[in-house]
Structures are given as C-alpha cells and as structure tokens.
Structure 1
Amino acid sequence: MKKTILSVAALLAVGVGSASAADLPAKVYTKAPPIVAFDPWDIAFGAAVMSDYVFRGVTQSNHKPSVTAYFEPRYNVTKDLQLYVGTSFESISFANRAAAEVDIYGGIRPTFGAFAFDFGVWGYLYPGGSCVDTAASGLGTLCAGDTNAISLVNGNVMKKDVSFYEGYAKVLWTINDSFALGGNEWYSPNFLNTGAWGNYASVTGKYTAPTTLFGASGVGMYVSGEYGRQWFGTTDAFYGNIKLADYNTWNVGVGFTYKVFTLDLRYSDTDLSQASCNAFTSDFTATANGSFSSINQTGVGSKWCGSTFIAKLSADVTLGALK
C-alpha cells in the first residue's frame, strides 16, 4: 500500500511539473492591454542632393549637381489599400532656360500578399521657360510675341512650355527579406510637349543584405538595377515632324542606409547615339562633331544621353515613424 501511495504521488508530481512548464501562461494579466486607435493618415517627405539628375538615362541637369525634395500625404483605407497625392521639386538645366521641375502626382496602392501595385498619374511642370528658336530653322513665327525668345548657337530649338503628364502602372514582388523584382509602365500622349507620344517600360531588381552584415552598427546595404526601353511617336511641326529615336537604358548601383539616410552610388547609360540624343534633348551644350542621322542633319551631337555616374544622398521619413 505504501508503494502504491508513493507511486501515485510521484505521478502527480510529474504531471504538475509538466503543466507548470508547458501549459501555464508565462504572464498573468490583471487587465486588458490598451487599444491603440488606428490612424489612417500619414505623410511621407524627404530631400536629396545628387551629383547628376538623370531621368531614364538622360541628364536633366547638364551633368551638374541637383537638389530635390518631396511631400506626400497618404490615406490608408485598409492595411492593404493606400490612396496618395504628392508633389516634388528638382533643380534642372534645360535649353529653354527652365531651372526647375515641379511634379504633381497621385494614385492608389493596393497590396495583395507579396505583390504591391501602384497606379496613378504624374504631371511634370517646367516653369520659367523661354521660347528657343533659330533663324536657320525657318520656324521663327512660332516664337512671335515672346519677348524672352533666345537663339541657340548650335541650331537647336525648344518650346517655352515643355510640361506634360504620364499615366503609370507599377508592381513590386517582394520574394523574401532579401530579393524583390518589379515591373513599370508609363505612357504620355505628348511627351515633353513635343507632340510625340511616349511609352516607357522597365524591369527592376533589388537585393537587400541581411541586417547582420554590419553587426549592430545600424547600417544596411542593397544592390539594385533597372533595364528599360523608351518608345516615341512623331513630333509636331515645331520640331520638324520627326520620329524620335527609341532607345534602351539601364542602371545599376549599390546603396547604404542608416536610419533615415541613404547614400546611393549608381552607373547609368543608354544606347542613344549623340545625333539622336541631340534631336531629343535640344542640348544647349551640344557641339558640331559630325554626328549626323536621318533626324539630325546639323551634325551636332549631344553627350546628355551617355554613360554617367550618380552619387545621391537622401533623407526620407514618414510622420507616423516620428510619433
């Protein structure tokens, strides 16, 4: 009988020990945790300085430094659906003497699992431009009444207002914490107000290094790249009713992040010839170097579409992250 009682006691002791280790809660709450109210509003904003402002492989700042800033209010309908509007500013250097690009945009960002979509409209405004024409072009009447009309020595022409807009659709597939792939499509019925439609499509890739790569320093790193193609239609009479040259562009770079700061070092290039680049950009620095083509009969070539290196230091934050 004593042996039986001891055996039962031993079993109970084991049972109680198991329950204590595995079944009982680690913490006992005396009251419910506080409920945090969901705030659907947020604002993203930031600024950057870069050694060259390059847009789809073509410099917008004459290969000179540029500054930029943006402001983007957001409304999260749900955790998987965001509405947004925004504006940004970039310093530029165009042939028509426009010195700033002001962008106004808005759209919707739905997310389905690992796929994040972005649909919207982007407007590019270039205030402060002057009508640029030359006597050799035979189109002087198009600049009539413009007291700021100037003449480029190299024979290039450019309208006073080159503002335009594009509709876009983008998707980003986040495969895991390290790899992401994307696709982009942009279309304008009147690219840079040339009269020619423009269509741009690209694929992107990004590798983000593990957070342990730099230990506890808080520094992150990524490698990313893009390959795209720009198609064009035919310009209006001001630019001679020419079919602008389609081209391919690509870039690859490495970035380092620390808190809200990012340092991006990137190489960019296109397959546009200097002759086609000159016809497209109206480059005021282009020189007569024998760059002839069917749409560039002057022999003037531009280096605005060639290979270039870009260093960009930016700071980005959201209002929600500051709370």
Structure 2
Amino acid sequence: MKSALSNAARRPGARSALGLTLGLAAATFACSVMAEEAAPAAAPELTSNVGVVSEYVFRGIRQTWGNPALQGGFDYAHASGFYVGTWLSNTSANLYANANVEIDIYGGYRGAVGDFAYDVGVLQFIFPKANYDKITPAGSYASKTYDTTELYLSGTWQWLNVKYSRAITDVGYFGFTSNNAGFGAFPNKPNAGVTGKDTNGSWYIEANIAYEFLPTWTATLHAGRQTIAHSKGLDYSDYKVGVTKAMPGSWTLGLAYTATAGADYWKNYPSLAGNGTTKDMNASTWIASVNRVF
C-alpha cells in the first residue's frame, strides 16, 4: 500500500490528477499501515489482526499479480499515546524481484484535541531478499533494495481522515533510481522515468471517509495522490470506493472497487521473474476481504 493502528501500506506509482478512492474498510483500513485514527487507549493494549483479500492493492497498484493475499499484524498501544506495530502480507516476485513477502514496521504517537484526533509516526517497508539486481536476467541492474522509510502525519475529524506520507531515504519510492526506472524502463510509457539520481522526498497524500450509514454497515471513500520526486510522467492518483459489514466475533467483510489515473506506465508490465507474463498493474479491480481483530 496497505491494523487498527496502521496506515495501510505500500507502493508503486504513476501520474494524474488527485482523485477519490475508497478505503477497503476494516481489512484495508485496519490491516495496512495507512488509514484510520483513534484516541490513545486508557490502558496498554496488545491487539492482532488477520485477513484475506482477493488481491493486495496498495495506493492503486496491484501487488500480488492478480492473486489473493493473506495478511496480518500486531499492534501495541500504550496509555501515553505511543504505539508500535507490524504488518505482513504476501506479495509477488513478478513485481518485486525475488520478493515473497512484505513486512511493515511502524511506530508513533496518537492523541486527540476535542473531536480532532492526530497521529504522527514512521513506517518502514521491508521486502526480505528482494533487490533490483535479482531482476531476470540477474545483474541487469545495479544492487538496490525496495525497502523504504516514510514519515507520516494524519488528522481525523469524525468521519474524515487526511494523511501525508513522505519518503526520507535515498531509496525513496521503493528503490526507484535513474538506473532502474529511468527513461525507457517502462515499455508502455518510454518518455517517463526518474530524472535525478534517486527518488528521496517522494510523497503521498490521501483523504479517507468512513461513514456508518446503517448499524454495522460502513461506506468508505478514498482519494490519493502519489508524487515521485525527481521524475517525469510518474506521478499518479488512485481512487477507491467500498462498503464493509461488521459481523459477530470481531469479523468484518468488505467489498471495494479501486482505480487509478495517470498510472498508465504500469500497463503491460513485464514479470521481473522472467516468466514471460505481463500484467496491467494499474487496472481497476474489485477487492473482496474478510478480516478479524483479536
């Protein structure tokens, strides 16, 4: 992208005007380092979450090559407002060379002033053993990991949440550099690519709405804009709309529709695993989910 304390999680990008997306509700909102806010707990609390989605989509980009994903994590919230957590999901080596899993580790501080809740923290995306030098054929690109660190600032008032995330490492936008994502690197848009040395300073801004229109039924909307620093033609917008249903036993069912604008360089994206397949990573798609918080 992307647990209740998380931010939904994760990555790739393209370009277009700011849009309206929907937050896949509990599973996406709850299981991804990027979404919903709450005031500090009255006492220390350890929670966990587990879920299954028909496809893992992060910031509008499909992460599992059209396949389902098993996701889950743990969150610890202290009475002071500080919290830490981790979240995991399977991913695809077709998109991240030699990757099978994404691990997100995050921590921050959450508080409230009246009806306004705020959250500030840091999020580390980790893709164990994944590296651009593993792209088939091996050695085609210089060594560079996909691991990315972002700072985030979020504010929530009633049903409206706004969040800003910014990359602070030279890895920038998930390892994009002029070496591996320069002009000509994207078959469907050869005039787009990284123009500087790296993409440090890339940022993502999003607005999320979660409104309970009937008891246990919540409508969600999401609009996000990904800006990739030191690049041309790679910025894009993503949108999502959906609904969730709270079930007995802390289960939540969700259905969402996600789309992008300006991310056409992700069309006909060739597998980095060298199996000859391609995928429209930016294609609009439905996402079904089931999630439980313990």
The 8 Å contact of residues 125 and 149 in structure 2, kept in 1 or not, is answered as: yes
Deviations 1:196-236 (A, max 9, x none): 1311111111210343xxxxxxxx111111011111113xx
Q: Does 2:166 match 1:184?
A: no
In 2, Cα distance between equivalents of 1:40 and 1:102? 27
Residue in 2 that maps onto 1:58: 61
Structure 2 letter corresponding to 1:40: A
Aligned residues: 226
Higher relative contact order (CA 8 A, sep 6+): 2
Residue equivalent to 2:123: 122
2:285 is matched with 308
Residue number in structure 2 paired with 1:255? 244
CA RMSD of aligned residues (A): 2.9
Quote the Cα distance in structure 2 between the aligned partners of 1:286 and 1:264. Answer: 34
Partner of residue 110, structure 1: 111
Distance 1:74 1:200 in 2: 25
Match of 2:256 in 1: 266
1:249 partner amino acid: D
- What is the TM-score with the length of structure 2 in the denominator? 0.69
For the Cα contact (< 8 Å) 2:56–2:62, is it kept in 1? yes
Structure 1 pair 55/42, CA: closer, same or farther in 2 (3 Å)?
A: same
Give the match's secondary structure for 1:85. strand
Q: C-alpha separation between the residues in 2 aligned to 1:149 and 1:199?
A: 26
Q: Who is 1:201 aligned against?
A: 205
Alignment correspondent of 1:40: 43
Identity between Structure 1 and Structure 2 (%): 24
- Contact 2:136/2:272, CA 8 A, preserved across alignment: no
For residues 127-276 of structure 1, the aligned pairs below 5 Å read 127-132=128-133, 150-151=136-137, 161-174=145-158, 180-189=159-168, 190-194=172-176, 195-196=198-199, 197-211=201-215, 220-234=216-230, 243=232, 245-259=234-248, 260-274=250-264, 276=265
Structure that is richer in helix per residue: 1
- Between structure 1 and structure 2, the one with the greater Rg is 1
CA distance in 1, matches of 2:65, 2:54: 11
What is the distance in 1 between the residues matched to 2:143 and 2:263? 23
CA 1:129 to 1:205, structure 2 compared with 1: closer, same or farther past 3 Å? same
Which residue in the other structure is 2:6 paired with? none
Aligned partners of 2:54 and 2:68 also within 8 Å: yes
CA drift of 1:87 comes to: 0.7
Q: Which SS does the other structure have where 2:66 is aligned?
A: coil
Q: State how far apart, in whole Å, the 2-side matches of 1:158 and 1:311 are.
A: 37
Unaligned runs of at least 5 residues, structure 1: 1-37, 133-147, 175-179, 212-219, 235-241, 289-299, 318-323
Q: Deviations over 1:152-181 (max 9, x none)?
A: 8xxx9685521011100111111xxxxx11
Report if aligned partners of 2:73, 2:88 keep a CA contact under 8 Å in 1: yes
Cα separation, 2, equivalents of 1:285 and 1:305? 19
Q: Within 2, Cα distance between the matches of 1:127 and 1:302? A: 23
Q: Which amino acid aligns with 2:241?
A: V
Gap change, CA 1:205 and 1:150, over 3 Å in 2: same
Instruction: Describe how 1:267-306 pairs up with structure 2 within 5 A.
Output: 267-274=257-264, 276-277=265-266, 283-284=271-272, 302-306=279-283
Instruction: Return the alpha-carbon distance in structure 1 between the equivalents of residues 251 and 152 of structure 2.
Output: 27
